[in-house]
Amino acid sequence: MNAMEFFQKSAGKWRSQRTTHHLAFRQAEMGSSDIQVTSLGADDQKVVEICQMHDIEPSLAAGGAFVTWDGSMAWDKDDENHKGSTVFAIVPDADNPRKGRMLRERGYAEIVPVVGRFEMDEEDGLILITEYETMSSVERFWFPSPNIRMRTSAVKRFGGFNTSTFCTEVRVEEGNSDEALAPSQDVTQFYSAFGW
């Protein structure tokens, strides 16, 4: 699987539950969000525009994704801080399509346009590595099953303030935005393995 195939597999609606560990405070914070992922072809105008934003030739892009989210965190009373959208574009390396540049309209750790690196690991997990002006982040996404996507992220700020996040995302059944996909055998087995 390459990164574009990963985005295509991610297309759809997801219900996300996450825990963020604030290491400096030795505390954890719970949150949830609804996520919509739309895969974009290489000739999509959003992909062309983000390539132009980063001064990269659009013909080098393999495609991308448009992602929207609407969520909340336990400590934050302003839900507007957890609502937004961003565009990704994938620019694979010429010699290895499983690695390359990931163009973002909006970064994970800072709300600025940014270019990071991506690679697919040996288990077909998607790893994103991004260096910002004041921090760096490493994210990994993977599918234990077609209807469950997992995500971990670690953010390190210059000066040593770190956070780590673990998310479980369950695909929402098409045509029913209010209910998560009914637990299939693989979903049930996954949660049972963790005693949930």
Residue type at 134 in one-letter notation: T
Beta carbons of 64 and 104 less than 8 angstroms apart: no
Tell me how long the chain is.
Answer: 196
Task: Return the domain boundaries, the chain.
Answer: 3-193
How far is residue 120's CA from residue 140's CA, in Å, rounded to a whole number?
Answer: 9
pLDDT in tens, the chain (196 residues): 999 999 999 999 999 998 887 666 667 778 888 999 999 999 999 999 999 999 999 999 999 999 998 876 555 554 445 688 889 999 999 999 999 999 988 655 455 788 999 999 999 999 999 988 888 889 999 999 999 999 999 888 876 768 888 999 999 986 654 444 444 444 444 444 444 4
Phi-psi region of 12 (alpha: psi -120 to 50; beta: other; left: phi over 0): left
pLDDT at res. 47: 96
CATH ID of 3-193, from 2.40.128.20, 3.30.428.10, 3.20.20.70, 1.10.3720.10: 2.40.128.20
pTM summary value: 0.79
Take residue 16 and report the two structure tokens written for it: 């996300």
Beta carbons of 19 and 29 less than 8 angstroms apart: yes
